[in-house]
Chain A
């Protein structure tokens, strides 16, 4: 699943460690999400959504849904 967490974090000039602290997770977790190695659970996705004041679907893009839209 693609996401724009890195972009949102960079816009605010936050480090991965700072974002991790805000979310209550490890810096490795933030890095894994940003690089697409790990898809967060719904509670964590909602926490990210709240922190950046953006809907989940604006932060995380569902690859399968994008493919369906492209096919249509």
Chain B
């Protein structure tokens, strides 16, 4: 584990988190605008824009991993609990939706796939809030 105090770990997390989120917002808006300006975008452009848009979120996951390593032991425990519960909630929701679609209980495109990312962050955040986890 890195040798940082809880306070230093928080500062290091925030100093990267907000620029990453700003980059994500820019990528979301910029990517959508870029594709809109072209009548027929090249085939390769759409996946490139999609991956670049989500890239800052990969960065956030790396940042969370770094924070968990750097923060104090109690916060680490609580964060990992919240991440686990958030992950399990999201995986359960994915499973339920998947089977609902498989059995034609709902239309195949009823729930957009990209919603699972916000569901994960939401359930992670709610768990942290309910369990009183400190830190970022």
Which residues of A pack against B, CB within 8 Å? 20-21, 24-29, 32-33, 38, 40-41, 44
Does B92 sit within 8 A of A, measured CB to CB?
no
**CB of B41 within 8 A of chain A?**
no
List the interface of chain B (C-beta within 8 A of A).
4-8, 71-75, 77-78, 132-135
Q: Which residues of A contact B75 (CB under 8 A)?
A: 25-26, 28-29
Tell me whether A38 and B74 are in contact (CB under 8 A). Answer: yes
Q: Are A29 and B7 in contact (CB under 8 A)?
A: no
Question: Do residues B134 and A41 form an inter-chain contact, with CB atoms below 8 A?
Answer: no
Please name all residues of chain A whose beta carbon is closer than 8 Å to the beta carbon of B72 when the two chains form the complex: 24-26, 29, 44
Hey, which chain A residues are within 8 Å of B7, CB to CB?
21, 24
CA distance A21 to B133 in the complex (A): 17
Across-interface contacts of B134 in A (CB, < 8 A): 26-29
A28 near B74 (CB under 8 angstroms)? yes
Interface secondary structure of A, over-half rule: helix
From A38, which residue of chain B is reached at the shortest CB distance?
B74
Chain B CB within 10 A, most for which of A20, A26, A27, A44:
A26
Chain A positions within 8 Å of B71 at CB level: 26
Please list the 6 inter-chain residue pairs (A to B) with the smallest Cβ-Cβ separation, ordered nearest first: A24-B5, A28-B134, A29-B74, A25-B72, A26-B134, A26-B6
A24-B5, A32-B74 known, 14 other contacts, Cβ within 8 Å: A24-B8, A25-B6, A25-B73, A25-B74, A26-B74, A26-B75, A26-B134, A28-B134, A29-B72, A29-B75, A33-B74, A40-B73, A44-B72, A44-B73
Residues of chain B within 8 A of A28, CB atoms compared: 74-75, 78, 132-134
CB contact between A24 and one of B6, B77, B78, B132 (< 8 Å): that residue: B6
Q: Which residue of B lies closest to A30 (CB)?
A: B74
What is the CA–CA distance of A12 and B134 in the complex, to the nearest angstrom?
25
Q: Which of A25, A40, A41 gathers most chain B CB within 10 Å?
A: A25
